[in-house]
Amino acid sequence: MNTVRYGIIGVGNMGRGHAISLLGEIKDAELTAVCDINPERLEWANEHLPADVKRYSCPEDLFAAKTVDAVLIATPHYDHPTLAIQALNAGYHVMIEKPAGVYTKAVQEMNDVAAAHPELKFGIMFNQRTNPLYQKLRNLIQSGELGEIRRTNWIITDWYRTQDYYNSGGWRATWGGEGGGVLLNQDPHQLDLWQWMTGMMPKRVRAFCYFGKYRNIEVEDDVTAYVEYENGATGLFTTTTGEAPGTNRFEINGDNGKIVVENGTLTFWRLRVPESKFNAEFSGGFGTPECWKCEIPVEPGGGDQHKGILRNFTQAILHNEQLLAPGEEGIRGLMLSNAMHLSAWTDNWVELPIDAGLFLEKLTDKIKTSTFQKEQAADRALDVSGTH
């Protein structure tokens, strides 16, 4: 195989962007098929894609046709594990959009199927892992420059969304259609990066979620979560879609100082002597370790983003290049999201790994007992250029 033939399932917001990218922008890749159960979206394909790109109205037809080598799943969240399992069992390499799914039980089943097919590549569209800023921070932490982590704090409130955004699809911002709000739609990247950069998952979570606080929706649009780690470190995660202007600031403190990521810069407040050593040796009463402010050089730009993940996935299929975002890792950020929901629903601490059965039980109850009536939903695709 010299070229990977891709089929996209779901040509709504994200699927359309991926389709355009695969029309010559990804080396050794080509778009040979698209699939959508919505006839209007297939009509978009008729108008914007070459005539030789096959159109299918259901995934089963695409799988049976054998016109692709890999599928990219860009459907609403609930369908990601189900379609990935079908595609893997049909012999296709699989790339899923974020999040990995809505609940960890289904995602674990998907991961188990992927593990049973080691000959197939399985990836997830965590495009923020291509960002040089986050790659450099991960390197600093995992190489030991920061020392043992003591505290993490991420304020990510620049996900502003209007009521019109939520009204653009009947599935949006409902328990039955989307399975969550800001945690499941906007924050999967941050929840992934949080554990990917630090190399740590919390041992327990206490979260406070506010549902429909700023918009007429039934899911969460404002969240503050507190986490604790095995080594005694603590963390805060604050997010919303209802504030303007918003903030995106990640601060992480370790034995060797503090790193702050904000406005595209990475600043390391580095201690000349580790805090623990200074504390053990200092005898002068009041005192603080000497601290140097270091502006860490970072390659400009946000990285190759979605195209970078597609290029990496393509080369992984053709030449066994190491995946930057293995699909199996999608369960980690989702575990954090599920834990925050479960903590809010039970008004209590939640231990990790979570009780997957209890979470699904609570989510199912939310769906069954929902009386929420959506405002008029147009079910229209939006221009997602410039978003994550």
**388 inside domain:** no
- CA separation (Å) from 123 to 109, 119, 225? 15, 13, 28
CB-neighbour burial class of residue 236 (10 A; exposed 0-12, middle 13-18, buried 19+): middle
- C-alpha pair distances (Å), 305 with each of 75, 312, 385: 19, 11, 12
Grouping H, G, I as helix, E, B as strand and the rest as coil, residue 204 is: strand
Encoded tokens for 352: 């990790």
Query: What are the C-alpha distances in Å from 257 to residues 88, 175, 254, 269?
Result: 45, 42, 5, 6
- CA-wise closest residue to 176 among 366, 377, 376: 366
Same domain, 289 and 148: yes
Pair (181, 194) in one structural domain: yes
Domain-embedded: residue 58:
yes
If asked whether residues 47 and 180 sit together in one domain, one would say no
What residue type is 63 in one-letter code?
F
* Token output for 304: 């190759």
pTM (global) more than 0.85: yes
**pLDDT at res. 366:** 97
Residue 378 lies in a domain: no
d(CA 26, CA 307): 7
Q: 34's torsion region: left (phi>0), alpha (psi -120 to 50) or beta?
A: beta
Residue 322 sits in the same domain as residue 265 = no
Per-residue model confidence as pLDDT tens for the chain (388 residues): 999 999 999 999 899 999 999 999 999 999 999 999 999 999 999 999 999 999 999 999 999 999 999 999 999 999 999 999 999 999 999 999 999 999 999 999 999 999 999 999 999 999 999 999 999 999 999 999 999 999 999 999 999 999 999 998 888 899 999 999 999 999 999 999 999 999 999 999 999 999 999 999 999 999 999 999 999 999 999 999 999 999 999 999 999 999 999 999 999 999 999 999 999 999 988 999 999 999 999 999 999 999 999 999 999 999 999 999 999 999 999 999 999 999 999 999 999 999 999 999 999 999 999 999 876 655 555 555 555 5
What local confidence, expressed as pLDDT, does residue 100 receive?
A: 98
* In a shared domain, residues 138 and 232: yes
pLDDT of residue 13: 87
User: Is residue 385 situated within a structural domain?
Assistant: no
At 33, the amino acid letter reads: A
The number of folded domains in the chain is 2
pLDDT score, position 110: 98
- Asked if residue 41 and residue 25 are part of one domain, the reply reads yes
Q: Tell me the residue type at 172.
A: R
Q: Are 180 and 309 in a shared domain? A: no
Q: Within a domain: residue 383?
A: no
DSSP helix, strand, coil percent of the chain (3-state; round to 5): 35, 20, 40
The full DSSP string for 89-129 is HTT-EEEEPSSS-SSHHHHHHHHHHHHT-TTS-EEE--GGG
Q: Residues 210, 340: one domain?
A: yes
Same domain, 223 and 255: yes
In angstroms, the CA 280 to CA 149 distance is: 18
What CATH number has the domain bearing residue 154? 3.30.360.10
Q: Is 73 left (phi over 0), alpha (psi -120 to 50) or beta?
A: beta
Do 182 and 258 belong together in one domain?
yes
Residues 245 and 343 placed together within one structural domain of the fold: yes
What is the Cα–Cα distance from 155 to 49, expressed in whole angstroms?
40
Whether the Cβ atoms of residue 338 and residue 331 lie closer than 8 Å to each other: no
pLDDT for the residue 380: 56
Answer whether residue 102 is part of any domain: yes
Same-domain check for residues 200 and 285:
yes
Q: Where are the alpha helices (DSSP H) in the chain?
A: 13-21, 39-48, 59-65, 79-89, 104-115, 132-142, 163-166, 182-185, 188-198, 275-281, 305-319, 330-346, 356-369
**HEC-encoded secondary structure of 284-332:** CCCCCCCEEEEECCCCCCCCCHHHHHHHHHHHHHHHCCCCCCEHHHHHH
Is 149 inside a domain boundary?
yes
Q: Which range of residues forms the domain containing residue 238? A: 131-301+333-369
Three-class SS of residue 18?
helix
Fill in the DSSP letter of residue 178. T
Specify if 100 maps to a domain.
yes
Place of tokens 């369908």: 79
Q: What is the CATH number of the domain that holds 49?
A: 3.40.50.720
pLDDT per residue as tens digits for the range 5-30: 999 999 998 999 999 999 999 999 99
d(CA 331, CA 328): 6
